[in-house]
Amino acid sequence: MSLRLGDIAPNFQAKTTVGDIDFYEFLGDSWGILFSHPADFTPVCTTELGKTALLQGEFEKRNVKVLAVSVDTLDHHNSWVNDINETQNCSVGFPIIADTDRNVATLYDMIHPNASATVTVRSLFVIGPDKKVKLTITYPASTGRNFFEVLRVIESLQLTADYSVATPADWKHGEDVIVVPAVSTEDAIKKFPKGVQVVKPYLRYTPQPNLDK
């Protein structure tokens, strides 16, 4: 059965390019991204891991740990990392799981038989500090992911976890957010001292509450 939002993300132990890990211990109190790749030494995957490496500082700023998975061997992973670093002008520092027994792929339903019976699709999971699944995105093997969108979603998830707000379409960090329907306008005015703009009784905006300005 596939994982759904709010489900507990399964724990696992695995061999990776940075040594053996326990997934829960690796995450600790951080947010986590677990994302799969169809195979090593493939062009789209090479660009994805390179982009993730280049953005690793941005993930760290947001208290996010990144973990990749492929069904290939650890020796293949280590050789592939050299290619990634060379071609993408980066330094891959996050772990890549060698999931040769497909344990992680099975736990997270990363193999979709109608797409391929042997390799993983491009699945991505965002996991909160409570070890619950907060976001799932699945791309076909032919389409690379947008990691700036992943960063944007993480900012939204972290913001909405702490405040009674939601983020509108195309929201970016620093823009106004929406007061959730469960909060009355009267209470919203008290809760959000920067101001509340009432467009409709159900559509109310307020400046992003966790910013100084």
Which strands, in side-by-side order, build the sheet including 197-200? Answer: 165-166, 177-179, 203-206, 197-200
Q: Which of 45, 71, 104, 154 is catalytic?
A: 45
Active site residue 90: no
Nearest 5°: the CA angle 184, 190, 195 is: 95
Cβ atoms of residues 8 and 125 within 8 Å: no
CA 130 to chain centre: 14
**Six token digits for residue 120:** 């993983």
Q: Where are the alpha helices (DSSP H) in the chain?
A: 23-27, 43-54, 56-61, 74-88, 103-107, 147-162, 185-191
**Six token digits for residue 114:** 């109608």
Catalogue the active-site residues: 45
